[in-house]
Each structure stands twice: as structure tokens, then as C-alpha cells.
Structure 1
């Protein structure tokens, strides 16, 4: 089976140095190996240049899935999904074919929180990189559904210009975490782009290359990613995380120890990230946030939050309101 791409895209890809004219040639040759190697090595330099020189209109253009999905296999696979929830799951599974990215998801009742992390140090501080990854997810959902689906919350430590705010449809939050939140009902809207034939063709190739890429993130990052998934369900003890990973609790603790950390520390990091973001939602009571991040009583949550941040929950929420008012007064 040979799924040919347009001549216009062929020329563009050729200029970038990616010699693929069909999906089958992409997977059946060794070209993808070279593409992945060069992408990972050069990405830091590329994003350094983009951070300095690219404007936000160019950033939006680079985030438009319709312009690049045909030659970015993880996005092609995501658009072939039945809905946004499945698309995000596929993107999370194969995003590392694009770059050193980790995507984690966390269910909050009738909402889904998407967390974006990086295994590359420079990507962690690149505004262009992070915002393109966030906006590409929004574009993916809109392209698949044919509807102007908006996230109900989005945030990072970077500024969002008015042009980006207009595109997103809501005001972004200042946050130490990189995240988006969607209503689950919006993510269950059927994709008009669903294509099981394409997916069945692509899946073996994607699995092959993700295995061969052999990206080994820190074990602590693996534990954190699992915790993001398990905390909402209430079963996130050492044994639960170890079982999810497929190792014994003792081995999990030992491997974390080799990295100079503990399960308790990693759990605290995840709970802190979730808390800082959930508390920005003025409609959520502190007791609700406490429960969602895994505390059985709100008093323990208050103490933990003060330990993590040096602030009380009330002080933090007042700061969030102040920042929102400041943002609104300047826009």
C-alpha cells in the first residue's frame, strides 16, 4: 500500500531534507532514522533561533495541523482517530518520533487535563516550542472535528499575546506547569478525518520506530507520568505505580534511589503541579482540589501546599486573581 502525498508537499519536504514521497517509503527506508537523528540534534539550535526571531503569527502558522500533518506521522495517526480523546492518546504514544516530548493526561471529572513536558533541557525554556505544541493540539482537535473547539483552560510560564489569545478563545493562565484542559464531551465529538485503513497501515511502522528510537527518559519522569494518570482514580500508592510500570515496588524504590529521589518526593512534585493549576479555577473549592490531587483531608493538603510553595492556599488564590486583573487591565 502506497499513500502518496501531494507534489507541493513533496517539494517542501525535499527542501527540508526529508526524502519521502509516500508514507510507505517513509517507513520502509532508513530515511526516518536520519530524520530523527538530525531533528533531535538540531532542535535546540532551531528553537533558539525561533525564540529570538519568529513572531506570533508565524508561531500560529507552524501550529496549523492542516499544513504539516501529512509528513508528521504522529499527527497523521492522531487525525485518523475516532475522536479527540483517542487522538491525544495516540499523539502521547508517538510524539517522541517528533522530538523529546512527554505528554501526560489527567481526568478531572468531566474534563481532561493534558500536561506537556520535555526531556531536552533547551525545549523546557523555549517559548516557541511549548506554545507550538499547545496550539498544535488545539488545531488537531479543530481539524478533526471541523468545529471551533476551545480548551476551558490553558497555561504556562510564558506570555500569550492578544493574537494567540484570540486564536485560543480564552485567556491563558500564568503557571509553572505546561497544560491544556478540555471538556471530555468536546473530545468525544467524532472526527471527520477518521481513517482506520490509514491507521492500520501506519501503526506497525510507528511502533517499530518508537521502539528503535529507544528514548530513555529519567525513571522519575516515567513515575511522574504514571502518577498523573492514576491520582484521579485514587489508587496511586507505590504498589499501584509499580504494577502499572510492570516492576516490583522494591525495584521502583531502588531505581528512584539511583536518581537521588524517592516515591514520596515524586508524588509531591505531581501533586504540587496539579494543585497550582487546579487552584487557578475559581469555580473549584479547595476541598475539591484537595480530593482530586489525592488528599483524604483538606487540613493535610493545606500543610503540604504551604511546604511546597511557602504560601497558604488563600494567598496563592489571591495572587492568581491579582494577576488576572492585571492582565485584563492591560488588554
Structure 2
């Protein structure tokens, strides 16, 4: 069975620090994205939340091209997570790009496909676990970071051969000055075309000892992720985050991960499960967790797992556990006190 990447995206602390250096407070970005302020300290966010944050930055900075260039150049390399930090200590530019493409799978939603042919190296941007393209700002930043990687690693003012964007990116002249090459908007995809000869350039930041530590750990993480992550895990995680006080349906969850409900249904069928089954599992698991907290009354637990009335929750819980929520809680609390 094909594994799917869970919709849990880690935002490095360096991102918020980069915004601060550009005069944008993290809480302003969260508000603009219409997300709770706790998103700043959340260990992971969904694809929809991740896209919303990038769109908020785009709106706050005002000009897409300028926002791309400013953030790409101000971002402190030391603030990158290990998945990206390893690329800055690669042997050469080619090694760095290949590491970036491989370990990008650990921090979706972007994916990178690298092709070397003739005098050119083409890097095409795609998306993991979503059918919707990311915001223009995120697209531009991703490609700019790849060139910035080469510039910082080699210590040379490298330029690209050609850059293609599928959507308008703002100030064309500013982007062409930054990339050092022609930039096309309205293309069929998003691509960074490099001079293949530059891939041989050694990195002045090469650190063999650090790579010997990072590489095995990252490879293990990637292998574990590919074995364990599934679309079912993703859906159940989103359901649990969305249960409180409202009806959760497949359309809402599909929208959260930027795919159609039909595609989501197909993916779940491939994993021998269904949305209804995952919703039931999520409610059952959350009910057990909440009932273990004696400070929550039964009516509140029913609300927290998405039931509009207490009677519906009672019927569901008796089906799951063969007992009422009150009796189950008493037995659990009694057992834990022994």
C-alpha cells in the first residue's frame, strides 16, 4: 500500500524571526491569516494553515517580488531545521540540491524534482499531499531559497539561467535582478533552471563531521515516515482538531488539505478505511481522553467531540465501550487511584 504524507507541517522558528527583521510581528501575521495566535508556537500546522500564513505575509509585505527577495536574503541559515541545515554543509551545490529534494519530503507541502540535461539543471516545484498550488509568495520563496543555497554555500554570486512562474509575481525587473536571468510569468509550471557547471562548485560551508551525524538520523526519519504515514492518519488528525462544537464532514476535511472530497474518498478506500470510520475512531479516542479528566462534565465532553446533544453521545459511547460515560469514568478513575 502506498504511504501518504501526513498533513503536518513544521514552521521553523527562524521564519517568525525573519518576519520580525522585516518589521512584521508574528501575531500580526497570525491575525491576517485568521488563525489563532497559538499557531505561532504550534509544533505543526495543516497545509491550509501553512498556505494562509504565507498569504498573510504576502499581504502584509505588499509586493510579492520584494517580499520574496527580502525574506530569502534576511533568513538566518542557523535558524533552519536539520532537514535544511544539512544541505548547507554539503560537499558541493549538486550534493546540496539532491539533499534538499530528498529531505524536503520530511517537511511538506513542497516537493522538488531535479533533472540534469545538457548544460542545464532544471528544478521543478510540485506539491505533496495537495491538489492545490501554494500561494505565489511561497512559490517564489522556495525557488529563491534554492539559488540562495548555492550562493551562500559556494560564497559566489551565482545566477540562474532562466526562471519560470505559473502566476504573476509582482515586480519583474526586481526578480530578474535578483535571479540574474530572464524571468517568465504565466508559464506552465514553476521552475528554476541553473547552469549545470555550477553544480560542481564546492561548498565553503562543507562539514563532513556534521553530515555524518545528520545524514543517518534524517534517513531514518524519512524511512520511518514513509512506512508509517498514511492519509488515514492525516484525516484523523484533522478531525480531532475540528471536532469541538461543530459538525465535521468530508468536504470540510478535504478542503483543509486542498483536495476534492472524491479524491479523499478514493485515497481512504485505497487504505481500506472510510471517512465515517475515521470520524467514529476520532470521537471514541477523544472521548476516552476527555473523560479521563475529572474536571470536564459529561455534557462538555459531548460538545468537545462534536455531539449536539448529550443523549446522542451516551448512545455512541455505550456502543463503543458497553457502558455509560459516567460509569466508565468512575471505573477508570478508581483503577488509577489504586
Instruction: State the match for 1:240 in structure 2.
Output: none
1:139 aligns with 2:151: no
Instruction: State the match for 2:182 in structure 1.
Output: 171
CA contact (8 A) 1:105 1:113 kept: yes
After the TM superposition, which segments of 4 or more aligned residues of structure 1 sit over 6 Å from their partners? Answer: none
User: What 5-or-longer segments of structure 2 have no aligned partner?
Assistant: 1-12, 19-24, 28-41, 232-265, 268-338
Change (3 A) 1:125 1:58: closer
Change (3 A) 1:199 1:158: same
CA contact (8 A) 1:82 1:191 kept: yes
Higher-Rg structure is 2
1:101 aligns with 2:110: yes
The alignment partner of 2:76 has SS state of: helix
Aligned residues: 196
- Larger % of helix: which? 1
The alignment partner of 1:124 has SS state of: coil
List per-residue Cα deviations over 1:175-212 (Å, max 9, x = no partner): 11111111221111111011111111111221233234
1:54-93 to structure 2, matched below 5 A, reads 54=61, 55=63, 56-64=65-73, 67-93=76-102
Alignment partner of 1:50 out of 49, 52, 57: 57
List per-residue Cα deviations over 1:121-164 (Å, max 9, x = no partner): 48614101100000000100000111111110110112342222
User: What 5-or-longer segments of structure 1 have no aligned partner?
Assistant: 1-7, 18-33, 218-257, 260-331
Higher relative contact order (CA 8 A, sep 6+): 2
Alpha-carbon separation, structure 2, partners of 1:78 and 1:65 = 18
Alignment partner of 2:157 out of 148, 155, 176: 148
CA contact (8 A) 2:164 2:183 kept: yes
Alpha-carbon separation, structure 2, partners of 1:209 and 1:39 = 20
Instruction: State the match for 1:206 in structure 2.
Output: 218
TM-score (norm 1): 0.52
Change (3 A) 1:134 1:216: farther
Shift of 1:165: 1.8
Shift of 1:82: 1.0
CA contact (8 A) 2:166 2:189 kept: yes
List per-residue Cα deviations over 1:249-295 (Å, max 9, x = no partner): xxxxxxxxx88xxxxxxxxxxxxxxxxxxxxxxxxxxxxxxxxxxxx
